[in-house]
């Protein structure tokens, strides 16, 4: 096949350059005939430009065998409006393929540059000339090539066939005499690294050689170059190996040349069929994908709509090519891999992918991603039928259709596998697992430019903000059609088959009429029966030129003895080939890159989830921030409230403590007051003693009528003093035992001596009682004080630790405590004074006793008088002088210091109490001595004990 005489291309056709591929020749190149050229430059223009099809193809009519299969859709023949081949042309001659719809005018067509080719090269014009120059000589070559396996005379110029000498260059003027169909330029194999497309290694593919903006810089879909959009349609034919071949020897009638993208049939109605790609039985799915779909997928990622569909008779390998196997992945998984590779390679854009999967089964559309509705009885109910709608923005679309957003190849493959499992499949005569429906996978690609964040690293921060550009929405449709088939015995299969065949027939009709539709443009649109089937309706957008299209037709060439070798099968194969040729010739794509919708209100805004999600994300982020700040605010408020409550509780507690403290202080104060009063009372008692003494004296005066001018002991003055002092402590006087004794009858009954002793005894008893009373008071006070001091001390230290420096209140408290301590010490001093007084009294009594003893021989009166005189002369008698709280006894003075008894409370006045007692009788004297001694001991011991005990019981005071 490669042994032609034409110069070989500069590089092997199997391994095209990794750089941009040559663009389709422009219209004028079609005026030239095919000639040899380098691979990069010899490519002819759109498929209609050059065809080499045997006349048999042109005069193809369903054979009688075909007619036995009425249900198999017959491709439109030359009888149709597409232009028939002039009858009478002999078979097996290279003639025009009038049977195929031909565009009437090849020249002057506006041919946009195909997005599926890379660029025009300057060499193409020259190449075309070369083709033209060899056109005449190629006639013979062409003729011979039909009779034997050809060794191409356009070595390496894959897809280029010499023009038939019988065919005028009609493809230029639109006549039906065109010869060679050659669109092999699009079938260039991918670079070696992409030939083994797989999920792993397809990352570094020829796709990386594409430059963004190719289309814009080189004419774009609507620019200069191939203006008819032919390059936007790729037609490939794949030949399935014939497993039924007995001798593994392909029937001699067929010739498949994948390098030249040529299939030749030498049988009846034979001819040459050249396409963009021809894959022989050795080609695997990766090669099919690389040549037939890879660029289209790439373009879809760039913003074009793209459609790939597999067409062919049942069992010829459509599903095998589209889905593939685990070891030989088909177009769908390879496209998915490339989609994600592209996303990885394009960090400056962000993408959103969603996928849907539907099937058309018996002219009903089912969503394969939504399982059958389960009926109430638990049985699976009917699947929800999907309707087709059309609008100006989206074109024809199925609704309601579930779309799943996918984020990884695995996820996408899983979704599709789920749909595959739901698809209707059944065994037929030709295929044990025949697809009974047309299956459509739709992958919607949304993308938008991403701007680098102000401080973001160039390594592609995915969270960087977006530029205010729009969202581009494009769709990749991957369609595995059900295969045309003969009527089956099984009724269900027959029904399915009839629907399948009807829809395929409609597809063929639409494709067949596309050419005439183009011709009739301007004269009024010719009716295209898109609505005759759901399939054509769904493919309307792609067929009418809005999409890049790649059609993969599958055939099976029967070996001798195989099922495929049956005539009917050959007829079907020919039908498929004719369909492929018509598709290549007639479908004109004006696919444009999708506009970028700006915002949700943009052109594709209603579909752009990317926008909606962005807005939603922004909205949610705002909500989150609002919620956060609100939460923080609430937290702050709550904390503040808590703090306030705690403060309040602390204040309340402090208040309670303070109150308690105050109460304690009050108690302590009361106790102290009581103590003071009591001590005062004691003083008064001492004075009372004086009063009593005065009483005694007065009694003595009364009895002895003794009056002394030396001693100012006027009753009135004494009483007034007494009463004056007593006034300071009202209510206490009555309770004093010594006062009760005043003027009692008992005193009188004691007689002179008895009177004095009795009064002293009473006085001592009163003092003792008072002492006991004092001790009790002191004990109580000490207890209270201790308690109060402890609690206040702990509080003060606690408060001090909280508040540096302490408050004025605490300072006051401390001052109060120290004041109290001071008072206590004063009281103690007073107590000591009192006790000294007691001892002084005791000693005075003793001295008195002695005085009595001295004057025992005298009369009581003289004793009294002498005693009195002694006392009055102040020589050796005892004088008790209360002066400002001082007690002077025989020159010894006991001064009660301190402010405890304030001068205002107790206004002292000099008081001299001469203790005069009548000399006791011997017995009574004894008794008195005894008693006095005991009293002395007792009082002295008590006082000492008390002082020592108090000294020990006041650690706080000492501590301070």
Ligand X SMILES: Nc1ncnc2c1ncn2[C@@H]1O[C@H](COP(=O)(O)OP(=O)(O)OP(=O)(O)O)[C@@H](O)[C@H]1O
Closer residue to ligand X in complex, CB, 240/499: 240
| DSSP bridge partners of 882 | 887
Closer residue to ligand X in complex, CB, 482/729: 482
Q: Tell me which residues in 112-131 interact with ligand X (CB under 6 A).
A: none
Closer residue to ligand X in complex, CB, 205/554: 554
The residue from 194, 434, 568, 865 that contacts ligand X (CB under 6 A) is 434
Closer residue to ligand X in complex, CB, 240/687: 240
The residue from 9, 162, 329, 483 that contacts ligand X (CB under 6 A) is 483
Number of chain residues interacting with ligand X (CB under 6 A): 17
Q: How far is CA 805 from CA 434, 600, 833, 960, in A?
A: 97, 67, 40, 20
* Residue 554 touching ligand X (CB under 6 A): yes
Closer residue to ligand X in complex, CB, 22/330: 330
* Residue 756 touching ligand X (CB under 6 A): no
Q: Does 506 belong to an annotated binding site?
A: no
Smallest separation, CB 533 to ligand X (Å): 16
Smallest separation, CB 520 to ligand X (Å): 34
For residue 309, give the H/E element and its range.
Answer: strand 306-312
Smallest separation, CB 319 to ligand X (Å): 3
What count of other Cβ atoms lies within 10 Å of the Cβ of residue 621? 10
* Residue 190 touching ligand X (CB under 6 A): no
Smallest separation, CB 243 to ligand X (Å): 7
Residue 879 corresponds to which tokens in the numbers above?
A: 């004088």
Closer residue to ligand X in complex, CB, 73/317: 317
Smallest separation, CB 512 to ligand X (Å): 21
Contact predicate 448/346, CB 8 Å: no
Residue 365 corresponds to which tokens in the numbers above?
A: 């559309």
Rounded CA separation 141/160 (Å): 12
Smallest separation, CB 197 to ligand X (Å): 16
* Residue 499 touching ligand X (CB under 6 A): no
* Residue 240 touching ligand X (CB under 6 A): yes
Within its chain, how far is the Cα of 159 from the centroid? 57
In order, the DSSP letters of 416-457 are HHHHHHHS-EE--SS-TTEE-SEEEEEEEEEEEEEPPPTT--
Closer residue to ligand X in complex, CB, 121/285: 285
* Residue 258 touching ligand X (CB under 6 A): no
The residue from 241, 469, 529, 861 that contacts ligand X (CB under 6 A) is 241
Question: φ, ψ for residue 398 (rounded to 5)?
Answer: -90, 140
Residue 482 corresponds to which tokens in the numbers above?
A: 């059900």
Smallest separation, CB 296 to ligand X (Å): 20
Q: How many residues does the chain have?
A: 960
* Residue 694 touching ligand X (CB under 6 A): no
SS (H, E, C) 639-673: HHHHHHHHHHHHHHHHHHHHHHHHHHHHHHHHHHH
Rounded CA separation 115/429 (Å): 41
Contact predicate 184/276, CB 8 Å: yes
* Residue 482 touching ligand X (CB under 6 A): yes
Q: Does 318 belong to an annotated binding site?
A: yes
DSSP-derived 3-state class of residue 85: coil
Burial of 765 (0-12, 13-18, 19+ CB in 10 A): middle
Considering only the stretches 106-114, 298-306, 429-437, 514-522, report the one whose residues sit in contact with ligand X under the rule CB under 6 A.
Answer: 429-437
Within its chain, how far is the Cα of 557 from the centroid? 59
Smallest separation, CB 225 to ligand X (Å): 34
The residue from 435, 516, 570, 573 that contacts ligand X (CB under 6 A) is 435
Rounded CA separation 152/318 (Å): 30
Q: Does 319 belong to an annotated binding site?
A: yes
Residue entry with tokens 């009364």:
702
Smallest separation, CB 170 to ligand X (Å): 35
**Range 817-834 burial, b when 16+ CB lie within 10 A, else e:** beebbebbebbbebbbbb
Residue 551 corresponds to which tokens in the numbers above?
A: 């059609």
Smallest separation, CB 368 to ligand X (Å): 15
Rounded CA separation 851/616 (Å): 120
For residue 516, give the H/E element and its range.
Answer: helix 491-519
Considering only the stretches 73-81, 229-237, 427-435, 540-548, report the one whose residues sit in contact with ligand X under the rule CB under 6 A.
Answer: 427-435
User: Directed axis angle between helix 331-345 and helix 294-302, to 10°?
Assistant: 40
Contact predicate 323/441, CB 8 Å: no
Closer residue to ligand X in complex, CB, 16/312: 312
Q: Does 213 belong to an annotated binding site?
A: no
* Residue 575 touching ligand X (CB under 6 A): no
Closer residue to ligand X in complex, CB, 435/475: 435
Rounded CA separation 565/204 (Å): 41
SS (H, E, C) 841-867: HHHHHHHHHHHHHHCCCCCHHHHHHHH
DSSP-derived 3-state class of residue 584: helix
Q: Does 756 belong to an annotated binding site?
A: no
Closer residue to ligand X in complex, CB, 315/545: 315
Closer residue to ligand X in complex, CB, 431/540: 431
* CA-CA-CA-CA dihedral for 747, 750, 756, 762, to nearest 10: -60
Smallest separation, CB 486 to ligand X (Å): 12
Closer residue to ligand X in complex, CB, 258/554: 554
Smallest separation, CB 318 to ligand X (Å): 4
The residue from 138, 178, 206, 431 that contacts ligand X (CB under 6 A) is 431
Closer residue to ligand X in complex, CB, 506/736: 506
What count of other Cβ atoms lies within 10 Å of the Cβ of residue 667? 16
DSSP-derived 3-state class of residue 930: helix
Please name which of 910, 896, 914, 927 lies closest in space to residue 844, comparing C-alpha atoms.
Answer: 914
Q: Tell me which residues in 280-319 interact with ligand X (CB under 6 A).
A: 312, 314-319
* Residue 341 touching ligand X (CB under 6 A): no
Pairing state between β 548-556 and 233-240: parallel
Closer residue to ligand X in complex, CB, 4/554: 554
SS (H, E, C) 703-752: HHCCCCCCCCCCHHHHHHHHHHHHHHCCCCCCCCHHHHHCCCHHHHHCHH
Closer residue to ligand X in complex, CB, 160/334: 334
Smallest separation, CB 8 to ligand X (Å): 29
- The 577-616 contact track toward ligand X, x by CB under 6 A, reads ----------------------------------------
Q: Does 224 belong to an annotated binding site?
A: no
Q: Does 907 belong to an annotated binding site?
A: no
Contact predicate 113/227, CB 8 Å: yes
Rounded CA separation 873/865 (Å): 11
Q: Does 312 belong to an annotated binding site?
A: yes
Q: Which chain residues interact with ligand X by CB under 6 A? A: 240-241, 312, 314-320, 431, 433-435, 482-483, 554
Annotated binding site for ATP: 312-319
The binding site consists of 312-319
């Amino acid at each position: 096949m490669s042994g032609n005489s034409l110069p070989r291309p500069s590089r092997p056709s199997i391994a095209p350059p990794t750089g941009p591929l040559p663009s389709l020749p422009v219209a004028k190149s079609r005026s030239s005939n095919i000639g040899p050229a380098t691979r990069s430059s010899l490519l002819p223009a759109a498929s209609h430009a050059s065809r080499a099809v045997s006349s048999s193809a042109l005069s193809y009519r369903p054979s009688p065998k075909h007619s036995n299969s009425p249900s198999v859709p017959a491709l439109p023949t030359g009888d149709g409006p597409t232009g028939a081949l002039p009858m009478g042309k002999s078979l097996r001659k290279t003639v025009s393929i009038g049977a195929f719809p031909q565009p009437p005018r090849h020249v002057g067509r506006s041919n946009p540059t195909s997005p599926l080719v890379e660029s025009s090269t300057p060499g193409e014009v020259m190449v075309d000339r070369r083709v033209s120059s060899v056109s005449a000589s190629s006639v013979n070559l062409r003729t011979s090539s039909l009779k034997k396996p050809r060794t191409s005379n356009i070595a390496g110029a894959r897809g280029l066939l010499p023009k038939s000498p019988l065919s005028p260059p009609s493809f230029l003027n639109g006549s039906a005499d065109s010869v060679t169909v050659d669109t092999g330029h699009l079938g260039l194999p991918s670079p070696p690294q992409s030939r083994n497309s797989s999920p792993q290694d397809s990352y570094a593919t020829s796709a990386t050689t594409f430059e963004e903006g190719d289309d814009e810089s080189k004419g774009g879909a609507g620019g200069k170059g191939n203006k008819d959009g032919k390059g936007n349609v790729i037609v490939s034919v794949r030949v399935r190996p014939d497993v039924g071949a007995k001798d593994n020897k392909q029937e001699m009638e067929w010739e498949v040349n994948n390098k030249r993208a040529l299939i030749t049939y030498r049988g009846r109605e034979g001819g040459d069929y050249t396409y963009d790609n021809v894959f022989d039985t050795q080609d695997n799915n990766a090669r099919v994908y690389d040549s037939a779909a890879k660029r289209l997928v790439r373009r879809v990622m760039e913003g074009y709509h793209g459609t790939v569909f597999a067409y062919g008779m049942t069992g010829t390998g459509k599903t095998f090519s589209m889905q593939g196997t685990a070891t030989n992945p088909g177009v769908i998984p390879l496209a998915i891999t490339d989609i994600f590779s592209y996303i990885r390679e394009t960090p400056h854009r962000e993408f959103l992918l969603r996928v849907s999967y539907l099937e058309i089964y018996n002219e009903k559309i089912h969503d394969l991603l939504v399982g059958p509705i389960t009926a109430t009885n638990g049985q699976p109910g009917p699947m929800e039928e999907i309707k087709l709608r059309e609008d100006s923005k989206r074109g024809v679309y199925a609704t309601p259709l579930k779309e799943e957003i996918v984020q990884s190849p695995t996820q996408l493959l899983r979704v599709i596998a789920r749909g595959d499992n739901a698809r209707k499949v059944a065994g037929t005569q030709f295929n044990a697992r025949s697809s009974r429906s047309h299956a459509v996978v739709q992958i919607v690609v949304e993308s938008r430019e991403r701007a680098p964040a102000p401080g973001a690293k160039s390594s592609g921060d995915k969270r960087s903000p977006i530029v205010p550009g729009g969202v581009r929405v494009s769709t990749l449709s991957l369609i595995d059609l059900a295969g045309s088939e003969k009527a089956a015995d099984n009724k269900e299969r027959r029904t399915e088959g009839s629907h399948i065949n009807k829809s395929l027939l409609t597809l063929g009709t639409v494709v067949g009429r596309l050419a005439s539709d183009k011709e009739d443009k301007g004269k009024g649109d010719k009716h295209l029966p898109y609505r005759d089937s759901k399939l054509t309706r769904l493919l309307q957008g792609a067929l009418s030129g809005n999409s890049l299209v790649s059609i993969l037709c599958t055939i099976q060439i029967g070996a001798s003895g195989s099922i495929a070798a049956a005539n009917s099968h050959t007829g079907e194969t020919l039908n498929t080939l004719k369909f492929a040729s018509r598709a290549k010739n007639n479908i004109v794509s004006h696919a444009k890159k999708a506009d970028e919708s700006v915002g949700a209100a943009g052109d594709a805004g209603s579909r752009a989830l990317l926008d909606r999600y962005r807005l939603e994300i922004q909205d949610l982020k705002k909500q989150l921030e609002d919620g956060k700040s609100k939460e923080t605010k609430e937290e702050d408020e709550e904390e503040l409230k808590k703090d306030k409550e705690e403060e309040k509780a602390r204040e309340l507690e402090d208040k309670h403590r303070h109150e308690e403290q105050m109460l304690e202080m009050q108690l302590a104060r009361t106790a102290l007051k009581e103590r003071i009063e009591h001590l005062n009372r004691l003083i008064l008692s001492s004075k009372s003693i004086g009063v009593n003494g005065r009483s005694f004296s007065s009694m003595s005066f009364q009895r002895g009528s003794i009056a002394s001018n030396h001693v100012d002991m006027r009753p009135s003055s004494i009483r007034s003093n007494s009463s004056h002092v007593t006034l300071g402590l009202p209510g206490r006087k009555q309770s004093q035992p010594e006062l009760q004794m005043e003027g009692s009858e008992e005193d009188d009954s004691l007689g002179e001596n008895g009177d004095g002793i009795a009064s002293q005894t009473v006085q001592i008893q009163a003092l003792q009682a008072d002492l006991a009373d004092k001790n009790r008071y002191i004990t109580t006070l000490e207890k209270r004080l201790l308690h109060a001091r402890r609690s206040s001390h702990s509080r003060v230290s606690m408060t001090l630790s909280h508040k540096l420096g302490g408050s004025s209140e605490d300072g006051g408290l401390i001052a109060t405590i120290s004041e109290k301590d001071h008072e206590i010490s004063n009281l103690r001093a007073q107590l000591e004074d009192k006790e000294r007084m007691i001892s002084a009294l005791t000693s005075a009594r003793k001295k008195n006793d002695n005085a009595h003893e001295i004057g025992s021989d005298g009369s009581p009166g003289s004793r009294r008088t002498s005693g009195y005189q002694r006392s009055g002369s102040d020589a050796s008698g005892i004088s008790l002088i209360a002066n400002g709280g001082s007690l002077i006894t025989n020159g010894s003075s006991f001064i009660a210091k301190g402010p405890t008894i304030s001068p205002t409370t107790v206004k002292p006045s000099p008081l001299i109490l001469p203790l005069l007692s009548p000399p006791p009788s011997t017995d009574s004297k004894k008794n008195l001595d005894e008693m006095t001694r005991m009293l002395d001991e007792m009082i002295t011991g008590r006082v000492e004990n008390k002082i020592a005990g108090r000294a020990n019981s006041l650690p706080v005071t000492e501590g301070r």
